[in-house]
Amino acid sequence: MAGITDLPTRQIVQGFGAGLVVSEMVASREMVEAKPSVRDRAELGTRVEGTSVQIAGRDGLWMGQAARLLTDQGARMIDINMGCPAKKVTGGYSGSALLRDHDRALRLIEAVVAATDVPVTLKTRLGWDDDSRDTAALARRAADAGIRMLTIHGRTRCQFYKGDADWDAIRPIVEAMDIPVLANGDITDTATARQALARSGAAGVMVGRGMQGQPWILAQIARDLGFGGPVTVPNATGFVDLARTHHAAIVDFYGPALGGRVARKHLGWYMDRAGTPADLRRAVLTAPVSAVDGLLCGALDGPGKQAA
């Protein structure tokens, strides 16, 4: 998730025992041309086990070059984003805009697969809108082109994140494929993961926004489904320590000025979970970076404010 799953956040999530994490979406051309902001996002942990690097673009040349560059840097897996609904992405004929042009989408997939010898996966949606829920056709062509795994967000592009994810609509895609298909959308805990698996028939689930404020949830879901080892869900004190550690890691990664701004969204999600009163929330989000650590105990710890 752009602006969210940066290296510090992925390290926090992996620290709890998540099996696979995915980098922020990186624009392929900008990465190849080495624009600093993109390369910062592309502190991708390419050599870190259990990390997939996600790229986006509209031109096979740049997509292929980005895949080759990432492979040379040690990437273990490359994911192609054809699901992002943001207007600034679809307006450039990237992300879920490619659901309107399967031939173009396939050319990009073929370019990436041809450029690398690591597994290439695809993340997409049910279709562009309710009148064109035709991702199954693209998925079959993508598998024939060499895609090794497919993740389907159970909404169309035009839904953005409104309404409920339609896990039932993923099932026909699962049944049409010989590669693993993961269900995505509205998966926030073990109960929703079980429902998504049962209704979609998918081989697994991908958690996106559901990890906000609870970075242990991927590992917890995996454990509850019978995969992975023990997971220590933080209690109230541990929750404060987690938020402090996360904040410090972001500030260290980006520097105090930018890091302080980037960290606010994560602190906001932690405070959402803790039910932090509005005045304390405002104090944390407006405080100088040097003062945040001292405020977090009062903002996150207290009666009923446990993470579990």
Catalytic annotation, pick one of 7, 21, 75, 84: 84
Q: Are 247 and 266 in contact (CB under 8 A)?
A: yes
Q: How far is CA 128 from CA 138, 173, 199, 232, 244, in A?
A: 12, 15, 22, 40, 40
Q: Which of 55, 12, 56 is nearest to 211 (CA)?
A: 12
The verdict on whether 297 is a catalytic residue reads no
Q: Are 245 and 266 in contact (CB under 8 A)?
A: no
All residues at 6 or more sequence positions from 22 whose CB lies less than 8 Å from its CB, including other chains: 5, 51, 52, 53, 54, 79, 123, 206
Report the C-alpha dihedral over residues 99, 121, 45, 64, rounded to 10 degrees.
-70
Q: Which of 5, 91, 89 is nearest to 48 (CA)?
A: 5
Both tokens of 68, joined, read 């080759």
How many residues are there in the chain? 308
- Return the percent helix, strand and coil in the chain, to nearest 5: 50, 10, 35
Residues belonging to the active site: 84
